[in-house]
Amino acid sequence: MATTRLTITYASDKSAADVAQLLSSGPDSRNAVLALANYLRAGATGVRGIKVEVEQSPAAASQTITCDQASAVAATDEVTIGGISCASVAADPTVTDGEWLLGADDDAMATNLAAAINGHSTLGLIVSATAASAVVTVTARVPGTLGNLVELSETGNGLTLGAAAMAGGDGGEAADTTTYNLGVA
């Protein structure tokens, strides 16, 4: 999901400390929200100049790979991401070439696969990978819908893809910002 950030700027003769004190209300956040609403109301009626910026940040596409050694993962099994393969090996992996050790258990296998994806000389520039328990989450390095086009495949029995392509990328490559000027600003 994309992230939305709201920034409010207003023209005032008050110091930053005065404004912070006005908006902070201790443990009662309701008063802070009411103070903010009063500032917005003052800007909308022209009493005070306020600039409101709403920024929609794009979300990066991602997908999961679940590791299950009990399903007979073997050396030479492969995961292919965006046409670039990472192969499991029995010993002495070359991480920059995307090789990864099977590991002692599912968690270790996932950690090794994530390291191979991140360490790959080309793939590591396109996606990043994190391992949590036996699941590797692959995320596009460039946010937006472009990452949804990255396809994944696997050969072998012990790897399960969440889907055949990354998903969830939303928005463009950069944040979209809309600015509203209220009042005299």
φ/ψ region of 75 (left if φ > 0, alpha if ψ in -120 to 50, else beta) reads beta
- What does the domain layout of the chain look like in residue ranges? 3-58+176-182, 62-161
For residue 88, pLDDT over 90 is answered with: no
pTM score of the predicted model: 0.68
d(CA 62, CA 146): 11
**Residue linked to tokens 């910026």:** 53
User: Which residues lie across from 10 on neighbouring strands?
Assistant: 50
pLDDT of residue 185: 45
Considering only CA atoms, give the Rg of the chain: 24
For residue 153, pLDDT over 90 is answered with: yes
Structure tokens at 85: 């393969």
Per-residue CA distances from 114 to 37, 88, 117, 157, 180 (Å) = 46, 12, 5, 18, 43
Q: What is the pLDDT of residues 91-147, one digit of tens each?
A: 888 877 888 888 788 898 899 999 999 999 999 999 999 999 999 999 999 888 889
